[in-house]
Amino acid sequence: MAAKKISTVLSRSFSSAAAPPCFFSRVRGGGGQSRLISRYNTTLAAVEDPITPPVSVKYNQLLINGQFVDAASGKTFPTLDPRTGEVIAHVAEGDVEDVNRAVSAARKAFDEGPWPRMTAYERSRIIWRFADLLEKHTDEIAALETWDNGKPYEQSAKIEIPMTVRIFRYYAGWADKIHGLTVPADGPYHVQTLHEPIGVAGQIIPWNFPMLMFSWKVGPALACGNTVVIKTAEQTPLSAVYAAKLFHEAGLPDGVLNVVSGFGPTAGAALASHMDVDKLAFTGSTDTGKIVLELASKSNLKPVTLELGGKSPFIVCEDADVDQAVELSHSAVFFNQGQCCCAGSRTFVHERVYDEFVEKAKARANQRAVGDPFKEGIEQGPQVDSDQFEKILRIIRSGVESGANLKAGGDRFGTTGYYIQPTVFSDVQDDMLIAKEEIFGPVQSIFKFKDLDEVIQRSNNSRYGLAAGIFTHNLDTANTLSRALKVGTVWINCYDVFDAAIPFGGYKMSGNGREKGIYSLNNYLQVKAVVTSLKNPAWL
């Protein structure tokens, strides 16, 4: 399948979106700072009178050894609708004992069950059948994603679930193509390498892209013949367990895929430190990633792959088409309510086009359609929960207080739920909190630069190194920047291209290892060398 540019798909989907009316007045802030106050219409039915989701919650238990079960403690926790803060459902709260049960089931399924002993072709067929079922149930799963997370339904149904299906079909195709090598040796020996499944894989996924992260983790693990215990994010537990049920309908043996919902300090920590988990994969914040890595090292030294935070630069060069650059940078920042690890949240603009770019970026943010994510044409729904909502507003306030110029937004949108106005800052300095902190929200910070050496140095001056965007028509400039930037992905005149075959991961404190593509298979395989002595070989 050809690579899809998320921002392009979104612009097509929402080209007819009506912008909420807004009015601006210039006021003076404390200490003589100039700031803008955005006064949005907060009586929109899309926000104040939420649409009833077209789906019901069928599964709210743990899935262990092929069976839906309550938590051993009997505890549940509420998962909330970010449009209102109201309870969607109460979900089983997994803890240490539940993780132990899930790992035990996965261990037995790996050591004694049919999955790793099945022909690779049969594993491929089961994964493919699951992808077909997933595609058949796109509407229900997309609705669960939107209800639980707040992302626009059109985004879930037209982009993310189809991408999830594509990932599983990609790894279904890999299952029977994983093999070792025959290696020449200095002497009468036959040497071969075997690529073996690593065993029980523990996986911890985040809340911003629940189903996509489910596919990035589960797809390669199962294709390689492993068994899995996956812990869902407490904010978004509903879609993964639904999908796991479909996997069993496709013929997946019991115990191969186990789903535990619960909290990081309990269920997540238990999985990371479990002595019978052979490999761990985590996607989330850098600070939590450090804890996960420490727990893994203190237990059985299990290998860990980490896909962590980012503060990605988006570089607009002096030869750029400003209108195109504004639209692309807008999508790079605001997609998924800004809740994207690779969001291009540091927008570096050459000084020759800076003023024009800032005014057009402000206008585009003011036109962004914010509201109930189940409403057609909405570009931006609510943030996932109250914690994220408050954190984003706190960092926005810090931007105003530190002297950045608030050009658009800066406050909540509406009076209910966790909606935030699309926010744009100009005149941002590198030492400001909004320039350094991963905001994970709809906030664009625009910086001015003079030349390539300067923007390279400033772009790389970050603890993160996940991704970068370059907007230029000059091939030499593109080549210079793409090789100089210390990041795992560089997008040139595009952004957020996530084809199943393209590896994704970070430099520095954005993590280690790669997701997607052929590279992710290495995360779930052991390499064994087998050396056999040869007697009177005809050739070496």
pLDDT digits (tens, 9 = 90+) for 249-308: 999 999 999 999 999 999 999 999 999 999 999 999 999 999 999 999 999 999 999 999
What's the pLDDT at 49? 87
What's the pLDDT at 194? 97
Q: 523 and 31 in contact (C-beta within 8 Å)?
A: no
Give the dihedral of Cα atoms 138, 144, 149, 150; nearest 10 deg: 80
The CATH number of the structural domain formed by 62-308 is 3.40.605.10
User: 359: Cβ–Cβ under 8 A, 6 or more apart, which residues?
Assistant: none
Q: Please, what is the Cα angle at 303 between 297 and 305, to 5 degrees? A: 110
Sheet holding 200-204, edge to edge: 67-69, 62-64, 257-261, 227-232, 200-204, 279-283, 304-307, 511-512
Strand partners, 420: 412
In angstroms, rounded to a whole number, what is the distance separating the alpha carbons of residues 200 and 219? 14
In angstroms, rounded to a whole number, what is the distance separating the alpha carbons of residues 154 and 379? 9
In angstroms, rounded to a whole number, what is the distance separating the alpha carbons of residues 143 and 229? 25
Q: What is the DSSP letter of 540?
A: -
In angstroms, rounded to a whole number, what is the distance separating the alpha carbons of residues 54 and 68? 24
Give the dihedral of Cα atoms 297, 303, 309, 311; nearest 10 deg: 110
Cα 170 to Cα 127, 128, 220: the distances in Å are 10, 9, 9
The two three-digit tokens of residue 274, written as one number: 């479990």
What's the pLDDT at 46? 52
Mark the ranges of the chain whose per-residue pLDDT is less than 70.
Answer: 1-47
- How far does CA 454 lie from the centroid of its chain? 30
User: 186: Cβ–Cβ under 8 A, 6 or more apart, which residues?
Assistant: none
Cα 303 to Cα 59, 108, 155, 264: the distances in Å are 32, 21, 34, 19
pTM more than 0.95: no
**307 labelled catalytic:** yes
The CATH number of the structural domain formed by 313-500 is 3.40.309.10
Strand, helix or coil at 304?
strand
Query: Residues spanned by CATH 3.40.605.10 within the chain?
Result: 62-308
Of the candidates 154, 234, 307, 379, the residue annotated as catalytic is 307
The two three-digit tokens of residue 419, written as one number: 């909606």
Query: Residues spanned by CATH 3.40.309.10 within the chain?
Result: 313-500
Residue 347 amino acid letter: T
Q: 157 and 139 in contact (C-beta within 8 Å)?
A: yes
Nearest to 493 by CA among 7, 21, 51, 2: 7
What's the pLDDT at 82? 98
